[in-house]
Every structure is written in C-alpha cells, then in structure tokens.
Amino acid sequence: MSQPQPNIHLYTAQTPNGIKVSMLLEELGLPYTLHAIDLAKNEQKEPWFLDEVNPNGRIPALTDTFTDGKQIRLFESGSVMQYLVERYDVDHKVSYPRGTREYWEVNNWLFWQMGGLGPMQGQANHFARYAPVKIQYGIDRYQNETRRLYRVMETQLAKSTSGYLVGDRCTVADIACWGWVAASAWAGVKLDKTEFPNLMAWVDRIVARPGCNKGRHVPKPHTMLDYWDKSEEEIDKAAEEARGWIQQSMKEDAKQSKIGSKSEAGRKWRYVNVQRLVKNAESAKATVANVESRDKPCAQSG
Ligand SMILES: N[C@@H](CCC(=O)N[C@@H](CS)C(=O)NCC(=O)O)C(=O)O
C-alpha cells in the first residue's frame, strides 16, 4: 500500500521552540502549510486550537495525514521532531538509523534540550525579562544554570570532529538547541569567544546551512542574533511589549485554574493547597541548605 502524501500543517510563532520545527522541515525539504499563531492575542489558547492541535495550548504543533489516512496531531517540539525524522528522513540527512549508537546519542541530546536547556533558559527569560519585579535570586539561578548547560555543549563540541553535537552530521539535536543558544543574549547570558569558542562557531555553522537558515525566519524574521551586540538596557526595552502580553496571558491562565476560582470549592482547594505548598517549601529549603553545604551541589532541573 502506498503511503499518503505529507499533508503537514505547522502551527508556530517566532520563538526558539517554534523555529526548531520550521528549520527541520526546511532541512528535509518537506512541503507544509504555515499557520502563524499570534501569541500576543492568545490564539494558542482558543478552543479550536486546544481541541484539534494541542491540548496544552502552546506552539509549535503540527498536524499531518497519518499512514492510516486519518489526521494525526503532534505537539511538544521534541515529539514533533522525532515524528518528522522517523517518518520522512528515510535517507538520514539529519538523523541516524534506529538502533545505532548515534541514534541513542541524538536522543540523549534531544531530551537534554527538552528537559534542561529549554526550560532553564525559558525561566531565565521569564525572570530577567518578563517578571513584573526583578527577583535577583530567580535571575541568578536560571542564568547560571543556562550558562552551565552551554558549558556542557561547549565541551561536547570541543570533542566533535564534525562540529556538530553527534557524529558526522547536523541532527535534530543541533536543530533543537540552536534557537535557544541563538537567544542567549535575550536571556541575559552573553557568549564570548574565550569561554565558548566552539559553541559560537557552531551557531554560525548552522546559520550557514540553507535549510536551517530559511527555517529560522518562519513565520517572520529571526532577530535574536541582533541582540548579541546590544546592551542590557536595550534588550530590556525590547522585551517591554512581550512582558505586557505574557503577564496578561498568565492572568488568563490563573483565572481558568481552580486556584483563581472564587467558588467555595475553589476557596477550600486553595486553603488546603497553600498549606501543602508551605510545608513543601519548608522541606525544600532544608534540602537545599543541606545540598549547598556539600562540595558538589546536585543540579536540580527546576
Ligand atoms: N515544551 C514545549 C514548550 C512549548 C512552549 O513553551 N511554547 C511557547 C513559545 S516558545 C508558547 O507557546 N507560549 C505561549 C503560552 O505559554 O501560552 C515544546 O517544546 O514544544
């Protein structure tokens, strides 16, 4: 039986997670219909999007016609990328055959990006740029962790003979990480050639790939590299607009959740959970104090 033709619809915005998928689609030369989602208007939280595209109300997400001829939806950028390479990268242009060592090593880095780099740098962005008040502890915690993760990449790239994270080629591991490293200055973690020579060369190497370069400008021009030469004040000023809608969107989310409910049940729920949170915070404080007193603090992922 012949496979149905790709019928890819990409729902995305100009963000580090969003461009992972468009970069990959362009690298693979796959046709797709683009749906630019306006995050400032909270389109990713509209019922049609939650029902048909991503119940988590985030971008990127994708739909396609599956091998059974019916529509399939994919969300979480790592899952979307794995789907695309498993289904369409039959020549292993940006992947390795399943079961090889390199396949699993790519998987390591993909999960590392999804569980570490993205969430940590996302929080660095939040505390450094979007929070209504500057909380130095949060800023330091997430910027330091982001820098530590960059060092992990730097060490890996220093050992690489191809200049990519795994083996002899650019893979989904590199593509997943790129948008985040490119947005380092936005997160307040400036890269310099003394500490990160290999990482900085890797950023340029990926831009030099026609597919990646085309895909990074979807759905509108990618400007994150421009901030590498800007001052903190200039970046802060540029973040003002996003700060407004991010705060608004958080308020909407809170309104939807039980914690924001004014009902009697909501009040009870809130009371019980606040008590639980206080108890958890006390025990976490004791654990952190204990861990910090050791030589090598355990790295919690947030
Ligand atoms: N783990 C998710 C994260 C997705 C995510 O946080 N997307 C952001 C843009 S980078 C978003 O949709 N934000 C809008 C919102 O939170 O409502 C992934 O990798 O796909």
Q: Which amino acid makes up residue 150? A: Y
Would you say residue 203 lies in a domain? yes
Would you say residue 240 lies in a domain? no
Indicate if 170 and 66 belong to the same structural domain: no
Mention every residue, 6+ apart, whose C-beta is less than 8 A from residue 33: 8, 9, 10
Would you say residue 163 lies in a domain? yes
Residues lining ligand 1, judged by CB closer than 6 Å?
15-18, 39, 44, 57-60, 76-77, 114, 118, 249
CA of 246 to the centre of ligand 1 (A): 12
Mention every residue, 6+ apart, whose C-beta is less than 8 A from residue 186: 125, 129, 224, 227, 235, 239
Percent of the chain at pLDDT exceeding 70: 84
Q: 76 is in which domain, residue-wise?
A: 8-88
Final residue belonging to a domain, choices 39, 57, 88:
88
Indicate if 112 and 184 belong to the same structural domain: yes
Over residues 281-294, mean pLDDT = 48
Indicate if 179 and 78 belong to the same structural domain: no
User: What is the separation, in whole angstroms, between the first and last Cα of the chain?
Assistant: 47
Taking only the tens place, the pLDDT of each residue in 5-46 is 899 999 999 999 999 999 999 999 999 999 999 999 999 999
Q: Is 57 left (phi over 0), alpha (psi -120 to 50) or beta?
A: left
pLDDT of residue 294: 38
pLDDT of residue 255: 84
Indicate if 105 and 225 belong to the same structural domain: yes
Over residues 260-274, mean pLDDT = 48
Indicate if 163 and 269 belong to the same structural domain: no
Would you say residue 267 lies in a domain? yes
Final residue belonging to a domain, choices 209, 229, 249:
229
Ligand 1 nearest-atom number relative to CA 119: 1
Question: Mind giving me the DSSP string for 42-68?
Answer: TGGGSHHHHHHT-TT--S-EEEEE-TT
Ligand 1 nearest-atom number relative to CA 17: 10
Ligand 1 nearest-atom number relative to CA 59: 12
Indicate if 108 and 213 belong to the same structural domain: yes
Taking only the tens place, the pLDDT of each residue in 80-125 is 999 999 999 999 999 999 999 999 999 999 999 999 999 999 999 9
Q: Helix 77-88 crosses helix 16-28 at what angle (to 10 degrees)? A: 10
Indicate if 23 and 72 belong to the same structural domain: yes
Cα(260)–Cα(106) distance, rounded to whole angstroms? 41
Would you say residue 247 lies in a domain? no
H or E segment to which residue 8 belongs: strand 8-12
Which CATH number goes with the domain that contains 62? 3.40.30.10
Q: Helix 172-182 crosses helix 101-112 at what angle (to 10 degrees)? A: 20
Would you say residue 241 lies in a domain? no
Indicate if 180 and 113 belong to the same structural domain: yes
Q: Is 190 exposed, middle or buried (0-12, 13-18, 19+ CB in 10 A)?
A: middle
Indicate if 84 and 135 belong to the same structural domain: no
Indicate if 64 and 105 belong to the same structural domain: no
Would you say residue 93 lies in a domain? no
Final residue belonging to a domain, choices 88, 117, 142:
88
Query: What is the number of other CB atoms lying within 10 angstroms of the CB of residue 55?
Result: 12
pLDDT of residue 167: 98
pLDDT of residue 248: 87
pLDDT of residue 257: 79
Indicate if 214 and 165 belong to the same structural domain: yes
CA of 75 to the centre of ligand 1 (A): 10
pLDDT of residue 302: 30
CA of 202 to the centre of ligand 1 (A): 24
Cα(179)–Cα(145) distance, rounded to whole angstroms? 17
Please give the tally of structural domains in the chain.
Answer: 3
Taking only the tens place, the pLDDT of each residue in 270-286 is 444 444 455 555 555 55
Ligand 1: which residue has its CA nearest to atom 1?
Answer: 76
pTM of the model: 0.86
Question: Pick the residue with more confidence: 298 or 51?
Answer: 51
